[in-house]
Structure 1
Amino acid sequence: MSLPAFYHLVVFIFLAYSFAFNLLKVQDDPGTNLFTYRGYGGKFKFLTFWLFFLQVFYFGFSCVNDIFGSNNRPSQSKPFLRSTLQRWRDILLSSIVFPVGMFVVCTFWGIYFVDRELVYPQKLDKFIPSWLNHVMHTTVLPFLLGDMYLVYHHFPTRKRGLKILLSFALSYLVWILWVAYYANIWVYPVLQVMAPHERVIFIAILMALFISIYLVGEGLNKFLWGKERRNYQLMQQKSRS
């Protein structure tokens, strides 16, 4: 078994266990109206839970690709050929999983250190174990950075990648606005304490942050795999000539 395949398998097992624990053991809220798993939407009101599911799916999908797909790099495959599984894995990581993962980590801890009650009220400590909180909000980034370091990911064009990412972000935005309208539940306390115009500005800033984070991921991939990218571009030039 290759190192990337072993890494994917270990991370997948750990995340799958943590996700199952979250789903089966963490069932209720501690009696606060600002943050609840009860009622409309359940845990799927929270972007963290969407990301948790995406991580499990991504690393599981990577395991499937390690067995049935390919992990080709431009320097190893001439012409550069990727299986369908590898193509979907690369798009999933570059356009959704990495930028959303980095977004969750940065925004959660950024708001947490300003006023944790706005994003993760202290009462949650009574029924969400500390280790699970860190799985949802901390280890996300190291796991994804490890994957980007070990495995070559061919990023799509910037236009396509941003289109996929912003479509995901807008889908989640529509969802939480619907929950607020239909069930009168603001998913995050920080939104509840804002005036309508402040929410618009806040959401616009978060959308800009999504775009910035995508560019960070693109730059990181270029830094880690610059030689491979240059090989790919060179092969493309030769194929056109």
Structure 2
Amino acid sequence: MAEYTCLVVHSALFIIHVFTVWYNIRHVGDTLQPYYDLFTYKGFAGKFKYLTFISFLIQTFYFGLAVANDIWGSNVRPSDKKGKKTGLQTFMNTFLASVVYPVGTFVVMTFWGIYAVDRELVFPKHLDKIIPVWLNHIEHTTVLPFLLLEKCLVYHEYPSRKKGIGILLGFANSYLIWILWIAFYADIWVYPVLQVMEAHQRAIFICILMAFFISIYILGEAINRFIWRKEIALSAAKQKQKKVT
């Protein structure tokens, strides 16, 4: 029954994400030419310079993997007496903990945080004519509830904190280098909030965002530990017993 529930929920979320990505690519842009704006929207690199778009592709990929894992992989918990954890499940555990959850949560919290201060810095009013309200909320709001649902629905074994945060910071720094290269090469500041800052302010702001990334990871780890505390305790007991024997 639990496996069926996971498959139904993951399939529904995957369909929602695929449709949203298709709509974004097909209908959102400067020229309104089908699929043309994917690589040209707002200049160099098109939509691939925006963390929202990259993050949503990551969410879509993850829920696609989740469907595949429900069918061909495993969702083994420490309390399960039968079944063996597959490589796909192991990969998904690390992927969710280190990239999917923290990046998705970061997008939601930073978008609405900056929006509350000055929406023109992240979502200028003219975009209301281009991006439907439902699309904005699917990409910037429902991401977090969907990820929390995933945490409650499926047991995920977190990697070591050093490994998880290392992967997350690797992703964050790669994206930082990407948008700074775009600013240097194409003279396009992906986020206007960075353009209005002095160099030292920009450096401090980036350090704060990196610290925020780490705090989101630790909070996600704590939420997972709270939800699955019995399973984690059982897993720790099994590991301790193995060391003794």
TM range (shorter): over 0.9
Q: Distance in 1 between matches of 2:239 and 2:43?
A: 53
Aligned pair partner of 2:104 in 88, 101, 104 = 101
Gaps of 5+ in 2: 33-39
Aligned pair partner of 1:212 in 211, 215, 221 = 215
The code of the aligned residue for 2:79 comes to: S
What's the counterpart of residue 66 of structure 1? 70
Aligned pair partner of 2:199 in 188, 196, 199 = 196
Displacement of 1:37 after TM fit?
2.2
SS in 2 for 1:2: helix
Displacement of 1:39 after TM fit?
1.8
Cα root mean square deviation, aligned: 1.4
Aligned pair partner of 1:178 in 174, 178, 181 = 181
The answer on whether the counterparts of 1:29 and 1:38 sit within 8 Å (CA) in structure 2 is no
Q: Distance in 2 between matches of 1:177 and 1:21?
A: 28
The code of the aligned residue for 1:179 comes to: I
What's the counterpart of residue 33 of structure 1? none
Q: Distance in 2 between matches of 1:82 and 1:191?
A: 44
* Pairing of 1:1-241 with structure 2 (within 5 A): 2-28=4-30, 37-77=41-81, 81-241=84-244
SS in 1 for 2:155: coil
Cα deviation per residue 1:8-49 (whole Å; 9 max; x = unaligned)?
00000011001110011112279xxxxx92321100110001
Q: Distance in 2 between matches of 1:211 and 1:29?
A: 38
Q: Distance in 2 between matches of 1:128 and 1:99?
A: 25
Cα deviation per residue 1:158-192 (whole Å; 9 max; x = unaligned)?
00000000000000000000000000000001111
The code of the aligned residue for 1:196 comes to: A
The code of the aligned residue for 2:238 comes to: M
Displacement of 1:77 after TM fit?
3.8
Number of residues of Structure 1 aligned to a counterpart in Structure 2: 235
* Residues 29/126 of structure 1: CA separation in 2 closer, same or farther (3 Å cut): farther
Q: Distance in 1 between matches of 2:134 and 2:98?
A: 28
Large movers: runs of 4+ above 2 Å: none
| TM-score (normalizing by structure 1) | 0.95
SS in 2 for 1:155: coil
| TM-score (normalizing by structure 2) | 0.93
SS in 2 for 1:220: helix
The answer on whether the counterparts of 1:12 and 1:56 sit within 8 Å (CA) in structure 2 is yes
The percentage of aligned residue pairs carrying the same residue is: 55
* Residues 207/128 of structure 1: CA separation in 2 closer, same or farther (3 Å cut): same
Q: Distance in 1 between matches of 2:117 and 2:81?
A: 49
Q: Distance in 2 between matches of 1:77 and 1:99?
A: 31
SS in 1 for 2:189: coil
The code of the aligned residue for 2:141 comes to: T
Displacement of 1:116 after TM fit?
0.2
Q: Distance in 2 between matches of 1:126 and 1:55?
A: 25
